[in-house]
Structure formats: structure tokens, C-alpha cells
């Protein structure tokens, strides 16, 4: 039987945080940001956290888009803080985007990867990170000037500080247990209406 | 092809800038050399090398969310890397302008280029992208001017193909 083994190089401890508490605790005040959320879990939880704020663009498809949408937005709006919040599967789909983003080094962009190590929407298969692939090491190797891993509550204060103060391009790996994201029945906006209301809120 | 360098690449960059394009995303291709070099030398724009073309589709969308105009420069082979990401562009009706330097068509000498080169138009059209073809130097500014209006005034998704007849087949 084909079996995927955990990488021998796997070196992070088992995740202990629950995303339903950890994501709001890390972001604190979402009103400070323009936000892009990757499909499924992160889009739902940010939608709930912001009560469907028009300053959030939540993806329902186009897997792999979130980090690069954040880059385009951050370059277009250099005076605003841009927060990308996405899952490990979404990030892995276009992991080269980390290299592209690091080369541009937009100081107003923070990327949070909510890493549950699984493809939660498709039957909870192990993702590459669940088997030991280190996105934090990849981000550092791409040249992200700030990389921070949150394994436990003890790592949260520094994560919060980075999110709140900004001060440079940052990659934050928030490691969470398997389990559902907060889902308050996002209305699944028609994509072009979501785009229109984001732009209207930002640009009038 | 004459030895004289054609003027259209320089005019094309000036046209894009005059129309407010400030983000140039690309996977390098010889057909876009002048545009890439001009963007790298222009302190008023962002010049963004990608690792794969689909990154550029998402970036163009993010630029629009922030009120900026972007263009994606790629070779025909890169079109194949963009297909699912074009659901973002189409579904959200993001203005989308891409300039595609063609391989695998008129006079191609590398057999590997034909499958994707010949598939460019049907797959773009299947994803709702309008395709314009520039066959000769005088077509370039005309086609890209038209595409700029269609994309940024009417929120269409438009590809201008810089055909192999225009840019010349690479010698093998």
C-alpha cells in the first residue's frame, strides 16, 4: 500500500493551537488593513472576523491567487497596510510567489499562513507541510526579511507585534491543529460584486 | 527582417505608460526584451519578474483592487500556465491586459513549441479572453490601443498576440 511518510527532516513540534481562537488573537484589529484571504478556511474566518468588511477580498476559487493579489494591492497602495491570510494548501499551489514577492520587498505587506497541515476541504488529506515541508524555511530562503513561526501561545505576542507594527515585509506561519475554521455563513458574494465593493470602499 | 531595430517596442512602452500602466509583470521572453528593460529603467513603475505566469494573473487583479493598472507580458507557452487563474479575472470582471509573444506558429523551427502555440487562441477564448493579433509593425500600437480601451474602460479581458510573423521566428 502506498503510504506517505513524514519527512525525516520534519522538525517542527506538533501543532497545538485552535485556529478559531488563534487567528482573531493574531490579527486583533482587522480594521487596520486591506485584506486578501485565500479560499475556504481563511476566507470564512476573516469574513466572520470582519463581519464581511468590504476591506476584505475573500477568494472562493482561483487557488493560489492570494499572495500575488496581495502583492499587486500592496504595490498599488503603498500607504496602506495589506494583510494576506491564506492556508498552507493555497500557498503551496503557487509557492514561487514567495520568491516573486521577496524580490519586490513591499514594506506594507504581511503574509499570514494558517497552516493546519491538511487539505481540510477535500477530505483532510495530509498536505506537504503536514508531512514536514517547512514554509518558514522556504520564505526565509526566498529572502523574506522577517519570518516568524507561531507554534504555541508563547510565540503569539511577537506575531501580534509584527502584525500590528508592520515595518517591513513579513511572513508569519501560524501553525494550528486540524479542525474547522470559524464559518458564519459567508454569503458567498458574486465575485464581481465582491471586487466592486472592495474598490468602492477603498477608492470611493 | 531588416537589420534595423523596429520602433514598435519603444512606442509600445510609451503607449502603456501614457495610459497609466504602472505594474509590469513578466516571465522573460526575447519578444518582450525592450518592454522589460524599459520597465527596469523606469523609476515610476514596478517591474515584477514572476516564477510562473499565473502569478501575474493574480497580481494584475490585486493591482486593480488597489486602483492601479498592470500588464502581464508572457510567451505563448505561458498562456497554458494561466488557465485556471483566469477564473479570477473572468468571474470578478477584472480589467486584464496581456501581451503574448508567440511561438509555435509562422516559421517556427522548434517542434516543442507547436502544441501550446497552436492552442493559445482557443484556450484564451475558452476562458473568456478576447484575442487580438498584431501581424505587422503597424498593427502593434493600433491593437494595444484598442486593447487598453477594452480592458480598462470596459473591464474586458484582452490578449494581444505579438505574432511570430511580427517578431520573426527564432533561428535554429
A15 contacts A151 by C-beta, under 8 angstroms: yes
Each residue of A133-155: pLDDT tens digit? Answer: 999 999 999 999 999 999 999 99
Distances (CA, A) of B154 to B13, B57, B125: 22, 18, 17
Q: What is the pLDDT of residue B3?
A: 54
Shortest CA gap B140–chain A (Å) = 26
A139 touches A105 (CB < 8 A): no
Dist CA A5 CA A132 (whole Å): 9
Spans of all domains in chain B: 8-167
- For residue B18, give the H/E element and its range: helix B8-18
The nearest CA of chain B is from the CA of A46 a distance in Å of: 18
User: What is the Cα–Cα distance from B120 to A197, expressed in whole angstroms?
Assistant: 33
By CA distance, what is B27's nearest residue in A? A100
CATH of B8-167, one of 3.40.50.970, 3.40.630.30, 3.40.50.1980, 3.40.50.1970: 3.40.50.970
Q: Which of A61, A75, A190, A200 to mutate to test the interface with B (most CBs of B within 10 A)?
A: A75
Instruction: Using a CB–CB cutoff of 8 Å, tell me whether B54 touches chain A.
Output: yes
- Residue A47, pLDDT > 80, answer yes
pLDDT at B172: 67
The interface predicted TM-score of the complex, written ipTM, equals: 0.95
Q: Which residues pair with A175 in a beta bridge?
A: A115
| Residues on chain B touching A203 (C-beta within 8 angstroms) | 67
A186 pLDDT band, cuts 50/70/90, is: low
Domain residue ranges in chain A: 19-203
Q: Output the pLDDT for position A188.
A: 64
Cell of B128: 473568456
Judged by DSSP in three states, A86 sits in: strand
The CATH superfamily label for domain A19-203 reads Thiamin diphosphate (ThDP)-binding fold, Pyr/PP domains (3.40.50.970)
Amino acid at each position: 500500500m502506498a503510504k506517505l511518510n513524514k519527512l525525516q527532516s520534519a522538525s517542527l513540534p506538533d501543532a497545538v493551537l485552535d485556529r478559531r481562537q488563534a487567528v482573531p488573537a493574531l490579527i486583533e484589529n482587522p480594521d487596520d488593513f486591506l485584506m486578501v484571504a485565500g479560499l475556504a478556511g481563511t476566507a470564512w474566518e476573516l469574513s466572520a472576523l470582519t463581519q464581511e468588511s468590504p476591506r476584505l477580498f475573500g477568494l472562493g476559487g482561483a487557488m493560489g491567487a492570494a499572495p500575488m493579489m496581495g502583492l499587486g494591492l500592496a504595490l498599488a497602495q503603498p500607504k496602506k497596510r495589506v494583510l494576506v491570510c491564506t492556508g498552507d494548501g493555497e500557498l503551496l499551489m503557487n509557492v514561487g510567489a514567495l520568491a516573486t514577492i521577496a524580490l519586490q520587498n513591499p514594506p506594507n505587506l504581511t503574509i499570514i499562513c494558517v497552516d493546519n497541515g491538511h487539505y481540510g476541504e477535500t477530505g483532510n488529506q495530509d498536505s506537504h507541510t503536514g508531512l514536514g515541508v517547512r514554509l518558514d524555511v522556504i520564505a526565509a530562503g526566498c529572502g523574506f526579511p522577517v519570518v516568524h513561526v507561531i507554534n504555541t501561545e508563547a510565540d503569539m505576542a511577537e506575531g501580534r507585534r509584527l502584525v500590528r507594527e508592520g515595518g517591513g515585509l513579513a511572513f508569519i506561519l501560524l501553525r494550528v491543529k486540524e479542525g474547522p475554521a470559524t464559518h458564519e455563513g459567508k454569503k458567498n458574494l458574486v465575485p464581481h460584486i465582491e471586487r466592486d465593493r472592495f474598490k468602492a470602499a477603498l477608492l470611493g | 527582417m531588416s537589420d534595423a531595430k523596429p520602433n514598435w517596442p519603444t512606442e509600445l512602452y510609451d503607449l502603456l505608460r501614457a495610459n497609466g500602466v504602472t505594474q509590469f509583470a513578466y516571465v522573460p521572453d526575447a519578444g518582450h526584451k525592450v518592454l522589460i528593460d524599459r520597465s527596469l529603467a523606469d523609476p515610476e513603475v514596478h517591474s515584477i519578474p514572476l516564477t510562473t505566469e499565473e502569478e501575474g494573473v493574480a497580481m494584475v487583479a490585486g493591482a486593480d483592487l488597489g486602483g492601479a493598472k498592470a500588464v502581464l507580458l508572457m510567451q505563448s507557452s505561458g498562456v497554458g500556465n494561466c488557465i485556471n487563474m483566469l477564473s479570477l479575472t473572468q468571474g470578478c470582471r477584472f480589467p486584464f491586459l496581456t501581451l503574448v509573444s508567440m511561438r509555435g506558429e509562422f516559421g517556427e523551427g522548434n517542434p516543442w513549441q507547436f502544441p501550446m502555440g497552436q492552442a493559445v487562441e482557443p484556450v484564451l477564448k475558452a476562458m473568456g479572453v478576447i484575442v487580438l493579433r498584431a501581424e505587422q509593425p503597424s498593427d502593434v500600437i493600433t491593437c494595444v490601443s484598442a486593447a487598453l480601451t477594452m480592458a480598462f474602460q470596459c473591464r474586458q479581458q484582452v490578449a494581444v498576440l505579438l505574432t511570430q510573423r511580427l517578431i520573426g521566428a527564432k533561428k535554429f
